[in-house]
């Protein structure tokens, strides 16, 4: 419980993806997955404005860890199909991503139900891995 592992291939680039649960009881164990991580993918519920404060704190705590010092960050702004959802720019501002200047980051608006935005996310991930 709490994590799943998938291997995906995007145009001949292979990714090992660890899906780690975000509930509070699992956060203390996140660090055990950091070693050799090239990209941190954080899925944000774009309709849940109140939760972004905690998300911001956890993201910046994660990024302070030595094992993630070179990791790029991809924020997936999910649930864009719901009226009133925050834009990628709003989420970027709430998470103070502009303060992150020592690594690559990107916020991608998406919808897990329709797949909208996911191909662009995969392309961004591939460009970061190939660049390394």
The C-alpha atoms of residue 51 and residue 122 are separated, in whole angstroms, by 25
* Cα three-residue angle 72-76-78, rounded to 5 degrees: 175
- Identify whether 23 is a catalytic site residue: yes
19 is in an annotated binding site: no
Beta bridge partners of 109: 77
22 is in an annotated binding site: yes
Return the structure tokens found at 101: 């200047």
Q: Distance between CA atoms of 2 and 22, rounded to whole angstroms? A: 8
**Is 2 assigned a ligand-binding role in the annotation?**
no
Tell me the C-alpha distance between 59 and 73, whole Å. 10
Does residue 12 have a known ligand-binding role? no
Residue among 1, 6, 11, 23 flagged as catalytic:
23
Region for 108 from its dihedrals, namely left if φ exceeds 0, alpha if ψ lies in -120 to 50, beta otherwise: beta
* 48 annotated to a ligand binding site: no
The catalytic residues are 23
Residue positions forming the annotated binding site for GTP: 22, 78-81
Residue positions forming the annotated binding site: 22, 78-81
């Amino acid at each position: 419980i709490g994590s799943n592992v998938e291997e995906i291939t995007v145009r001949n680039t292979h990714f090992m993806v660890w899906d780690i649960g975000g509930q509070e009881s699992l956060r203390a164990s996140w660090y055990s997955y950091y070693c050799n991580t090239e990209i941190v993918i954080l899925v944000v519920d774009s309709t849940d404005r109140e939760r972004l404060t905690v998300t911001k704190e956890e993201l910046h705590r994660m990024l302070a860890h030595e094992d993630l010092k070179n990791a790029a960050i991809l924020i997936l702004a999910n649930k864009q199909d719901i009226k009133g959802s925050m834009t990628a720019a709003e989420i970027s501002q709430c998470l103070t991503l502009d303060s992150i200047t020592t690594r690559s980051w990107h916020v991608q608006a998406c919808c897990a139900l329709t797949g909208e935005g996911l191909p662009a996310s995969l392309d961004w991930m591939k460009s970061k891995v190939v660049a390394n």
